[in-house]
Chains A and B, each alone.
Chain A
Amino acid sequence: MKNFLALILTLFLGFLIMSSLNNNIAFPKFGEANIGDRVSDAYIDRDVTENPGDVIFGETDGLESGPANIVTAIVADYRSFDTLGEVTVLFVSALGVALLLGTKKQKRLEIDFHPNFMLRVGSKALFGVILMTGIYISIHGHLTPGGGFPGGSMIATSMLLLYLADDNFRAKVKGFKILESIAGSLYVLIGIIGLIIGGSFLVNILDTGVIGELFSAGIIPIVYVLIGLKVGSEISNVIDNFLTEEGA
């Protein structure tokens, strides 16, 4: 009965939302969004502060925001403050997981599965590759799809692999903590330096370079590496917390 009622309700609500959106003349139909009316138009044209004309990959330099990946430009430059908040959310929830699951962790969680030698060694080999990919993705966030968050997750995945493939493995949690702390603090410090030098928080104080080159976009690659390290260490921390328990 309860389930049926819930079904009816959710169906009803879904139908109402759909029809309401459908009848809403101001709401653009799927695929008919007019970007020209939106703020994102300026992000694509990079003409928030001044109009650089047509931006051409590999040629235009000195843009207000340098990444070739426009999403990165938004995430790490135009709306970098959101990203700081986002990092904080992840930070505080990782911290919360650590708080909730106890701090006196000594040993791995007992699981029935015992990996064999091949798996252990093989996964260690794979670990390096995944780690490197993660770092690569973080560093190239301003050029290609990806960036600090996927890169960081990938770094954490490599740790997860080690955890799963070896039931005795423990990472040095203390190291993660230091890394996390330094990366986070640096992010904020970069912001504050920007405030001191550039007059506003998180302003891009470095030269943005030529769009499309690896060493371009000013602080964005730095920020993304920091985010990558931070996210990686945080998620690794979370993994560690879930896979260990109190004991000898």
Chain B
Amino acid sequence: MNFASIEMILMITLASGVLAYLIGKLNAKLGSIVTILVSMYVTIAVIYFGYNGELVITTEYLPLVTFKVTNIGLFFASTVTFVFAMVSFFNPFFIDKYKFKALYSMLYIFSLVGILGVFFTDNFMTLFVFFEFTVWSSMFLIPMGKSTKSTTLYFAMSTIGSFALLYAIFLMRSQSGSFDIDQGLAMVSGAKATWTYILLSVAAFAKLGAFPLHLWLPKVLGDAPDPVTAVFSGGLEKLGAFVAVMGLVRLAPVSFNIGAIDMDFARYVIAFIGSITIIIGTLMAIRQDDAKKLLAYSSMSNGGYIIVALTIGNGIAISGALYHVLAHAIASAAAFLAIAAVARKTNTTKMSELGGMIHNMPITYMVYLIAIISMAGIPPMGGFISKWMIFQAVINKGLPIIAIGVFFGSIGSFLYVFRPLAALFLGQQLPEYKHLKEAPFFMVLPMIILSGLIIYTGVLPNYILGKINEIVVDLGATAVTITEYTITGFNGTIHPALISGMFGVGVFVAFLIFITFKKSKKVTLMDTYTAGEFIYTEELLHYSVDFYAPLERLYEKYIHIMEKTYDSIRNKIAEVGHFFKYYFFTNKPEVSVFWIVIIVSLLLWGESLW
């Protein structure tokens, strides 16, 4: 038995999903510990054996189910399984909060199975099966959290995505004659190629949560159980990126070329939507009060970066996008986990209800700080490297309108990522949270590992970029020039380690100054007054509420447009239903007879006219 064959990994994982359920029936905590073991096993198997070239395919079990190890699949799989493994450490601490405890463990593992299947196949049908499998197993994780409302929305959007994917698959099959991924992508041509391009984009958008299919992302991440949010943002969302690579990079749509920038129109439209996604994500993130929702919108806008980069499609853009996938996956996982750690103690993620947690949870604070620095694209974290590469690509391609979006998002992220930091961890401490302790060791451990990785990706990106370069070559683009310590873009070369070193020195100096010349005084929440009146109630005069009120007012009117659109679509569907009900199902026998007569008449009339 080869434990490093893909079939074996999938089988074992699937079986242990059932096992986790059975054990979870006896003892919920034990069941959730199974999730840790399984996801650790999968992570080690994928990363260790995968990059040693020992991950193999042993047999072909079923006619349409075939597996294949590709560089890109391996890259995505390592990223996502790693996130799954890290998050799984949180499961035992949260399991008591769920309604169906054993089921949670099972579905958690099933989602992992689904996602692995997607990354390790060369067959579209297999890909779709696992894609859908992921959808329904992750779908039932959502309602175990705060609210069940967003589940249906998630399902609807996901299904739009997966059916777009399915349609594209069949379109490709009609030209290539098989479900083979490489053949399908290579052989599709003409109008069908354009359609496939569009449909695959829709699929990618739905999964990435890009405009206009973004609505599920904040709602689901707001509602889902806290560890699951990390999985969604750091793991499941990346399915969209995977599909996007397939569609946006490997397909050549045929519409017409925009001469000025030498770019296909369809491609430009997608890039444009990507930049809109960035802008909307940023604007929406700015006005959130719930930290999870804020991060969700930030995930959305980061998805936009990936889309923009992939549409440009040259070597540096693709590796920027892929590096961004990795950087964002670990950064957002870390951020969500940090918030989950807080929420486990306080039972809220609303910024207006929290404050001063740094005194209780300093490590969590540090993890969160590192994560958001990466998300904002500031050195020395991984997010900086990827954003730098994407900027290089956008500027070089000369896309002014899209560049506006990209830069806006970058600046905007400064505006929002530091808000939860300030609101949750800094500021005045709430009396009721005074006695909270730092999270237990097994929760802190994955967060520390994640932050270590964030820093590593920022300081020494070259090993991973080397792996990404292999993918880039696979995709037919030119590899990015990298040396041991440098990356060369279109207009310059950076030394991440050097930058990081300088940055580190700067921070150190600042810290010294802060310590030596400390002038502030620590006060309790009640130690204040307004307009000469002392405050007697313990209500929080929280400074992070309405932080950017003037800015928000600018676009306040427009923020619900998409929600309204979807609501009206839903209402329209229901209206059509009511219409049919009213005219066909009236409890009167003559109605059916009437329709029979009408239809026969019309058809016969038609026959006689023709």
Contacts and interface: CB of A to CB of B under 8 A. Distances in A.
A contacts B: CB pair < 8 Å: yes
Interface of A: 6, 9-10, 12-13, 16-17, 19-20, 23
B608 A23 contact: yes
B601 interface: yes
A20 B601 contact: no
A19 B608 contact: yes
B597 A20 contact: no
B604 A9 contact: no
B607 A13 contact: no
B100 to A, nearest CB: 45
A23 B604 CA distance: 12
B222 to A, nearest CB: 53
B600 interface: yes
Interface string B587-604: 000000010011011001
B598 A9 contact: yes
Q: How would you classify the secondary structure of chain A's contact residues: helix, strand, loop or mixed?
A: helix
B604 A16 contact: yes
A120 B452 CA distance: 109
B597 A13 contact: yes
Interface of B: 594, 597-598, 600-601, 604-605, 607-608
Given A9-B601, A13-B604, A20-B608, 14 more contacts: A6-B594, A9-B594, A10-B597, A12-B601, A12-B605, A13-B597, A13-B601, A16-B601, A16-B604, A16-B605, A17-B604, A19-B608, A20-B604, A20-B607
A9 B600 CA distance: 10
Contacts, number: 23
A19 B607 CA distance: 11
B601 to A, nearest CB: 5
A17 B605 CA distance: 9
A16 B598 CA distance: 12
A207 to B, nearest CB: 50
Contacts of A12: 601, 605
B466 to A, nearest CB: 77
A217 B349 CA distance: 92
Contacts of A16: 600-601, 604-605, 608
B interface: dominant SS: helix
**Most chain B beta-carbon contacts within 10 A, residue among A10, A13, A20, A23:** A13
Instruction: State the 8 A-B residue pairs at the shortest beta-carbon distance, nearest first.
Output: A16-B604, A13-B601, A9-B597, A13-B597, A20-B604, A12-B601, A16-B601, A16-B605
23 contacts: A6-B594, A9-B594, A9-B597, A9-B598, A9-B601, A10-B597, A12-B601, A12-B605, A13-B597, A13-B600, A13-B601, A13-B604, A16-B600, A16-B601, A16-B604, A16-B605, A16-B608, A17-B604, A19-B608, A20-B604, A20-B607, A20-B608, A23-B608
A16 to B, nearest CB: 4
Contacts of A10: 597
Contacts of B604: 13, 16-17, 20
Contacts of B600: 13, 16
A13 to B, nearest CB: 5
A9 B602 CA distance: 10
| Most chain A CB within a 10 A radius of its CB, from B598, B601, B607 | B601
Nearest to A23: B608
Nearest to B607: A20
B42 to A, nearest CB: 61
Contacts of B605: 12, 16
B418 to A, nearest CB: 71
Nearest to A2: B590
A163 to B, nearest CB: 31
B420 to A, nearest CB: 66
A6 B605 CA distance: 17
A42 to B, nearest CB: 34
A17 to B, nearest CB: 7
A16 B608 CA distance: 8
Contacts of B598: 9
A11 to B, nearest CB: 10
A19 B605 CA distance: 10
